[in-house]
Amino acid sequence: MGYVENPKTKDSGIACAIPQKGRCPFGCKGCFYQSGRGYLEPLEERTPNMPPVVPGQVVRVNDGNDSTNAFYLVVAETKKYPDRFFNTSFPNRLPDFPGPVVLTLNPGEMTNRNFWKVEAVDPLMFVRFRVNTWNLRLAEDAVRWYSAREVTTVLTFMAYDTLAEIPEAEWWAYAERVRTLNRYFAITAGAWEHVMEHFRRNPWVSSCGHHEGVDTHCRHCGNCLREYHAWKEKHR
């Protein structure tokens, strides 16, 4: 079948490529791609999902799945895109990528416990931290680590299928609403402002989405396009 556009990236200048077939073998908890409610379901029928080559369009490789999974396949199948960046939750192949990489620092069970500390940051376009209102101290540690290395940290606000996944003391910060396609318990505007206030003076921190309390669509954000072109300029 033809290319299926990610509704989150519609009108953003970004297309999304998934070269692998089926589900991601890493199975990180909280990943929309594993939820059964993502925009490409059923995955076995709709993947690989590869956009046409459009001059000037930036291609996000692996908005679902992981670019470290079937690494050589991913690199080979996306070579046709002159402007591409890769997404992974694991740092072990970072030096091997032939272009900029977005690394998720605290995937799966690491979310509230630890984060990847990368010393050789040259391949990194930016790092992505999965944030909520109860892992702020860990977020601050991650931001300090990467700000010292002049790498942007983009805070990606977690959303939850049920209220039971959120500590009761944090219920004040979440409300049930639709994010792109599905209903979640997601951060409120006031709680989003509370989190972002911690990093207000740090130029190396951004939020994924224009405003998590209002709109999470990529067309109102621009982080990926800004950081992609900054990486290219740095490596000219």
Residue 144: its H or E element: helix 136-147
pLDDT, one tens digit for every residue, the chain (236 residues): 689 999 888 888 999 999 999 999 888 877 777 776 778 999 899 999 999 999 999 999 999 999 999 999 999 999 999 999 999 999 999 999 999 999 999 999 999 999 999 999 999 999 999 999 999 999 999 999 999 999 999 999 999 999 999 999 999 999 998 877 678 899 999 999 999 999 999 999 999 986 655 567 788 888 999 999 999 999 98
Place of tokens 């079937």: 70
Terminal-to-terminal C-alpha distance of the chain:
37
Which DSSP letter does residue 45 get?
A: H
